[in-house]
């Protein structure tokens, strides 16, 4: 099965093989070296000179660790325009007073509302950079700039951007960012990586969950260890995935992600399909997942079943309130032209058979050939 | 390196190979079948007909999920006689009023104190079944009986007992139990499995951490899914590890663990070494980890370094307040006579060279030959 979903991504053979090793002691120097290497590459990926911590758990565990660990007397404002933005709001509500700024799914944030909330006294902003549920890239730099003016803490869920698109924590002024191993890093799911600025510790809350207490991770990282037994095979895999990122180079990797997603968008628009998100120039189309409206004349289930059964390709449907209305193609990790062309061709086959679109595969090929 | 530590254990080749597969969609029927199979075997391991949930995270994540999810208006009493018992107390303090009953490390609980705490109004008891830091097996059935008399909830950390020694939740009256994948189940680290009785939900607290909220796991398990992206390779591995448990049979597996640890104890005592824990008949020696005092004339570091460098065998030292005073041999998972004899012979070699013990390896062999 070819996974063209917004994670877990297809994992490179090298990374799968890296997991085929006997366990090692997690308090050993050998494990420490893996942790040191992973932290070095992850700092590049996040664009920070700050600390980087590794949690055995999903991206959501990383987001909660960030919000909970830095929730001391914080009055949060959350920006929400999709499922994962809403999750950030739900998590923040468990730890702090929160003003949840809700916008329509797939529509840009109104940043005037953010300014108002900060003027009224909010001192922490949390949001999703790349909103996977709608295919929207939210304007992180702009948000951080506004937050900075008010001295507010910024926490950014970069779960589906870091490693596939620009994340420049130090340059933009983001204090905490989170990524999941199974997205643009190209590794299997099960690890969250959290990058933390010095300033974030002013907001440290010792009453956060024990397992997600970033101070424990900081303390143990000084000995190149994790506070609790780490998911060793996933660290073997992450190490290999990050070696691939080093070999490819981060700039080239980001350029590749951008090109692959541009090919998907060019194809969709030229085939007569409609993209779901409505960017305004500040908010942009995501470069790691493309959300497309399901055309009249076919259901989401019919489309996805045909792709799975006839071609062995898995794409995603819509979640929650857009269930049945959109389908989503992930262009994350270590895939290339082959996988994208195969996927678009298969979708064309299914939709042209029903006379719902016209062929536009050559448009995609032209982008990919650039 | 042969891992003879109390987890992560040496992983069977079949289990390592099971991880060498491409990722699958975590909302697919294929993943659902893995979850169903794992839950079936885990119910046997826990001795329960209740629910079983899978958290991508370490055993500690499972313990916190249990305490936090069932902390509604609970007044906890915790029983502590080692490092992991203390951790249970520390976690409980983040969620509830707690009376922490502390006993000397390696000494039995005074259960009269538990009765008093329950009479004074505590309505939840949390404790560690097999205390890995000291090699003590605490009297779970007895504790559950006392708790039951007072209608109290019982939460048991069975991280290093389940799968290697008897855990009979339904028979004993334990409401919640937790195990880690990397101990007696024989799988790699990174998954916690939590078993939950119906009664536990009377204590449900919706203000628990989002990632560790067992209600979300219950809701999603009904669709054979997990609420957040699971660590897929670790599920491939756990499935294979549980197939091995089914093939061996739980009773035979427990008998094997008991025999291996008995061989270690017989050897140690006959060699002239001293065991660390002081069981009283209710509390017993652990059957999955043996803690032995370091004899005068050698340091913990010297012993462990010699084993690692000369033989490629990893045993554990003591943690926290018994650091340097004891060493610990794990007899967990899918190991057998070969690994135990090799380990004891290697230790003998190092200690006899310094004239600190006499040879007793034949005593171990006699036990193993039974």
Q: What is the CA radius of gyration of chain B?
A: 20
Domain endpoint, select from B219, B248, B277: B248
Test the A interface: residue of B229, B230, B236, B335 with most A CBs within 10 Å: B229
Q: Do the Cβ atoms of A152 and A133 come closer than 8 Å?
A: no
Q: Please answer yes or no on whether A211 and B60 come within 8 Å at the CB atom.
A: yes
Q: What is this model's ipTM?
A: 0.97
Report chain A residues whose CB lies below 8 A from the CB of B61: 56-57, 61, 211, 228
**φ, ψ for residue B130, nearest 5 deg:** -110, 110
**Is A1 inside a domain boundary?**
no
Bridge partners of A292, per DSSP, are A275, A327
> Smallest CA–CA separation between A370 and chain B, in Å?
30
Length of chain B: 370
Listed residue (A332, A364, A363) closest to A179, CA to CA? A332
Q: Do the Cβ atoms of B182 and A23 come closer than 8 Å?
A: yes
How large is the average pLDDT for residues A88-97? 97
Q: What local confidence, expressed as pLDDT, does residue B73 receive?
A: 86
**Is A4 inside a domain boundary?**
no
Is a pLDDT exceeding 90 seen at residue A35?
yes
Instruction: For residues A213 and A303, state if they share a domain.
Output: no
**Is B168 inside a domain boundary?**
yes
Q: Do the Cβ atoms of B99 and B50 come closer than 8 Å?
A: no
Model confidence band, residue A222 (pLDDT cutoffs 50, 70, 90): very high
- For A315, which residue in chain B has the nearest alpha carbon? B25
Element (H, E) at A204: none
Instruction: For residues B215 and B258, state if they share a domain.
Output: no
- For A93, which residue in chain B has the nearest alpha carbon? B207
Q: Please answer yes or no on whether A190 and B233 come within 8 Å at the CB atom.
A: yes
DSSP helix/strand/coil, A243 = helix
Q: What local confidence, expressed as pLDDT, does residue B341 receive?
A: 97
Q: Which two tokens stand for residue A237?
A: 């895999």
Q: Please answer yes or no on whether B228 and A64 come within 8 Å at the CB atom.
A: no
- For B5, which residue in chain A has the nearest alpha carbon? A25
Q: Which two tokens stand for residue B204?
A: 């449900």
Q: What local confidence, expressed as pLDDT, does residue B89 receive?
A: 98
Taking the CA atoms of residue A62, residue A63, residue A65 and residue A68 in that order, the dihedral angle to the nearest 10 degrees is 180
Instruction: For residues A234 and A269, state if they share a domain.
Output: no
How large is the average pLDDT for residues A35-58? 98
**Is A144 inside a domain boundary?**
yes
pLDDT in tens, B167-183: 999 999 999 999 999 99
Q: Do the Cβ atoms of A210 and B88 come closer than 8 Å?
A: no
pLDDT in tens, A304-362: 999 999 999 999 999 999 999 999 999 999 999 999 999 999 999 999 999 999 999 99
The angle subtended at Cα B115 by Cα B113 and Cα B118, nearest 5°, is 110
The angle subtended at Cα B121 by Cα B116 and Cα B122, nearest 5°, is 85
B295 is in which domain, residue-wise?
A: 250-369
Model confidence band, residue B123 (pLDDT cutoffs 50, 70, 90): very high
pLDDT in tens, A119-138: 999 999 999 999 999 999 99
Instruction: For residues A135 and A199, state if they share a domain.
Output: yes
Any idea what the CATH number is for the domain that residue A103 is in? 3.40.640.10
How large is the average pLDDT for residues B219-244? 98
pLDDT in tens, B140-158: 999 999 999 999 999 999 9
**φ, ψ for residue A307, nearest 5 deg:** -65, -40
Q: What local confidence, expressed as pLDDT, does residue B253 receive?
A: 98
Nearest to A24 among B1, B58, B59 (CB): B1
Bridge partners of A56, per DSSP, are A191
How large is the average pLDDT for residues A166-192? 98
Model confidence band, residue A201 (pLDDT cutoffs 50, 70, 90): very high
Q: What local confidence, expressed as pLDDT, does residue A291 receive?
A: 98
Is a pLDDT exceeding 90 seen at residue A73?
no
Q: Which two tokens stand for residue A76?
A: 């949060």
Instruction: For residues B188 and B321, state if they share a domain.
Output: no
- Chain A 218-237, residues with CB within 8 Å of chain B CB atoms: 228-234, 237
**Between A and B, how many residue pairs show a Cβ–Cβ distance under 8 A?**
181
How large is the average pLDDT for residues A256-285? 98
CA atoms of A229 and B84, how far apart (whole Å):
13
> Smallest CA–CA separation between A191 and chain B, in Å?
8
Nearest to A20 among B16, B68, B180 (CB): B16
Q: Please answer yes or no on whether B23 and A5 come within 8 Å at the CB atom.
A: no
Q: Please answer yes or no on whether A58 and B229 come within 8 Å at the CB atom.
A: yes
CA atoms of B277 and A209, how far apart (whole Å):
31
Residues in Cβ contact with B92 at an 8 Å cutoff, skipping those fewer than 6 apart = B67, B71, B76, B78, B98, B100, B126
SS (H, E, C) chain B: CEECCCCCCCCCHHHHHHCCCCCCCCCCHHHHHHHHHHHHHHHHHHCCCCEEEEEECCHHHHHHHHHHHCCCCCEEEEEECCHHHHHHHHHHHCCCEEEEEECCCCCCCCHHHHHHHHHCCCCEEEEECEECCCCEECCHHHHHHHHHHCCCEEEEECCCCECCECCCHHHHCCCEEEEECCCCCCCCCCEEEEEECCHHHHHCCCCCCCCCCHHHHHHHHCCCCCCCCCCHHHHHHHHHHHHHHHHHCHHHHHHHHHHHHHHHHHHHHHHCCCECCCCCCCCEECCCEEEEECCCCCCHHHHHHHHHHHHCEECEECCHHHCCCEEEEECCCCCCHHHHHHHHHHHHHHHHHCCCCCCCHHHHHHHHHC
Instruction: For residues B176 and B274, state if they share a domain.
Output: no
Report chain B residues whose CB lies below 8 A from the CB of A19: 16, 19-20, 233
DSSP helix/strand/coil, A154 = strand
- Chain A 275-294, residues with CB within 8 Å of chain B CB atoms: none
The angle subtended at Cα B79 by Cα B75 and Cα B83, nearest 5°, is 120
Domain endpoint, select from A201, A226, A248: A248
Instruction: For residues A232 and A298, state if they share a domain.
Output: no
Is A3 at the interface with chain B, CB within 8 A?
Answer: yes
CA atoms of A192 and A46, how far apart (whole Å):
13
**Is B224 inside a domain boundary?**
yes
**Is B6 inside a domain boundary?**
no
- Chain A 235-264, residues with CB within 8 Å of chain B CB atoms: 237
Is A212 at the interface with chain B, CB within 8 A?
Answer: yes
DSSP helix/strand/coil, A239 = helix
Is B207 at the interface with chain A, CB within 8 A?
Answer: yes
Q: Which two tokens stand for residue A16?
A: 């799968």
Instruction: For residues B212 and B325, state if they share a domain.
Output: no
CA atoms of B202 and B365, how far apart (whole Å):
50
Q: What local confidence, expressed as pLDDT, does residue B74 receive?
A: 86
Using alpha carbons, list the distances in angstroms from residue A154 to B70, B285, B364.
32, 51, 60
The angle subtended at Cα B121 by Cα B119 and Cα B127, nearest 5°, is 85
Report chain B residues whose CB lies below 8 A from the CB of A210: 60, 64, 87, 90-91, 94
Instruction: For residues B236 and B260, state if they share a domain.
Output: no
pLDDT in tens, B295-339: 999 999 999 999 999 999 999 999 999 999 999 999 999 999 999
Instruction: For residues A258 and A238, state if they share a domain.
Output: no
Is a pLDDT exceeding 90 seen at residue B370?
no
Element (H, E) at A56: strand A51-56
CA atoms of B39 and B32, how far apart (whole Å):
11
Give me chain A's average pLDDT, please: 97
String of DSSP letters for A256-279: HHHHHHHHHHHHHHHHT--BS---
- For A10, which residue in chain B has the nearest alpha carbon? B23
Instruction: For residues A308 and A358, state if they share a domain.
Output: yes
CA atoms of B316 and B274, how far apart (whole Å):
16
Q: Please answer yes or no on whether B3 and A25 come within 8 Å at the CB atom.
A: yes
Any idea what the CATH number is for the domain that residue A313 is in? 3.90.1150.10
For A231-270, b where at least 16 C-beta lie within 10 A, e where not — what string?
bbbbbbbbbbbbbbbeeeebeebbebbbbbbbbbbbbbeb
Q: What local confidence, expressed as pLDDT, does residue B225 receive?
A: 98
**Is A5 inside a domain boundary?**
no
Residue pointed to by tokens 């990524």: A179
Is a pLDDT exceeding 90 seen at residue A74?
no
Domain endpoint, select from A207, A222, A248: A248
Is A318 at the interface with chain B, CB within 8 A?
Answer: no
CA atoms of A297 and A356, how far apart (whole Å):
7
H helix runs in A55-189, sequence order: 59-69, 83-93, 111-119, 140-149, 169-172
Give me chain B's average pLDDT, please: 97
- For A21, which residue in chain B has the nearest alpha carbon? B16
Q: How many domains does chain B fold into? A: 2
Q: Please answer yes or no on whether B22 and A16 come within 8 Å at the CB atom.
A: yes
Instruction: For residues B41 and B183, state if they share a domain.
Output: yes
DSSP helix/strand/coil, A237 = helix
How large is the average pLDDT for residues A90-102? 97
Q: What local confidence, expressed as pLDDT, does residue B248 receive?
A: 98
Is A103 at the interface with chain B, CB within 8 A?
Answer: no
**Is A3 inside a domain boundary?**
no
Element (H, E) at A136: strand A136-137
Is A211 at the interface with chain B, CB within 8 A?
Answer: yes
Model confidence band, residue A370 (pLDDT cutoffs 50, 70, 90): confident
């Amino acid at each position: 099965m070819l996974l063209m979903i917004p994670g877990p991504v297809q994992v490179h053979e090298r990374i799968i093989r890296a997991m085929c090793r006997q366990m090692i002691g997690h308090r050993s120097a050998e494990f420490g070296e893996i942790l040191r290497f992973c932290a070095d590459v992850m700092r590049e990926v996040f664009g920070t000179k700050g600390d980087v911590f590794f949690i055995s758990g999903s991206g959501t565990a990383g987001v909660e660790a960030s919000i909970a660990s830095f929730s001391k007397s914080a009055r949060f404002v959350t920006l929400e325009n999709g499922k994962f933005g809403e999750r950030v709001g739900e998590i923040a509500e468990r730890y702090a007073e929160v003003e949840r700024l809700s916008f329509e799914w797939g529509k840009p944030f109104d940043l005037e509302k953010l300014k108002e909330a900060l003027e009224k006294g909010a001192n922490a902003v949390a949001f999703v950079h790349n909103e996977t549920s709608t295919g929207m890239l939210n304007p992180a730099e702009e948000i951080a700039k506004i937050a900075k003016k008010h001295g507010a803490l910024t926490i950014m869920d970069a779960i589906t951007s870091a490693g596939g698109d620009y994340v420049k924590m130090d340059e933009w002024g983001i204090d905490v960012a989170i990524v999941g191993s199974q997205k643009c890093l190209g590794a299997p799911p099960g690890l969250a990586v959290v990058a933390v600025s010095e300033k974030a510790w002013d907001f440290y809350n010792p009453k956060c969950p024990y397992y997600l207490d970033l101070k424990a991770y900081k303390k143990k990282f000084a000995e190149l260890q994790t506070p609790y037994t780490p998911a060793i095979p996933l660290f073997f895999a992450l190490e290999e995935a990050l070696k691939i990122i080093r070999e490819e180079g981060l700039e080239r990797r980001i350029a590749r992600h951008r090109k692959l997603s541009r090919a998907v968008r060019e194809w969709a628009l030229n085939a007569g399909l409609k993209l779901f998100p409505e960017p305004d120039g500040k908010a942009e189309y995501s470069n790691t997942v493309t959300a497309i409206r399901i055309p009249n004349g076919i259901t989401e289930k019919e489309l996805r079943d045909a792709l799975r059964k006839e071609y062995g390709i898995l794409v995603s449907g819509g979640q929650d309130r857009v269930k049945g209305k959109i389908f989503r193609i992930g262009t994350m990790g270590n895939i290339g032209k082959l996988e994208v062309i195969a996927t678009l061709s298969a979708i064309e086959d299914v939709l042209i058979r029903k006379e719902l679109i016209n062929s536009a595969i050559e448009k995609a090929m032209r982008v990919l050939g650039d």
